[in-house]
Amino acid sequence: MAYVINSECISCGACEGECPVSAISEGDDLFVIDAALCTDCGACAGVCPVEAPNPAE
């Protein structure tokens, strides 16, 4: 199951550099995770200052 970034995202970009498979990119209003690429490693959640990345439900 992939991670998703919720609306708490402040577009700081900390998560993008931590993703080992480059699944995170800057969207229009916040960063987004490509579910097809995400390996569910959680690296993005570990560096986010506002806890925006979370496991998808």
Residues 26-43 have pLDDT tens digits of 999 999 999 999 999 999
Residue reference for tokens 């496991």: 55
Rounded to an integer, the average pLDDT of 38-55 is 97
Does residue 57 carry a pLDDT above 90?
A: no
Look at the chain and count its residues. 57
Residue 15: what pLDDT?
Answer: 98
Fold of 3-55: Alpha-Beta Plaits (3.30.70)
Q: Which of 33, 5, 36 has the alpha carbon at shortest distance from 19?
A: 33
Does residue 1 carry a pLDDT above 90?
A: no
Say if CB 36 and CB 24 are below 8 A apart: no
Task: Give residue limits of the domains in the chain.
Answer: 3-55
Does residue 6 carry a pLDDT above 90?
A: yes
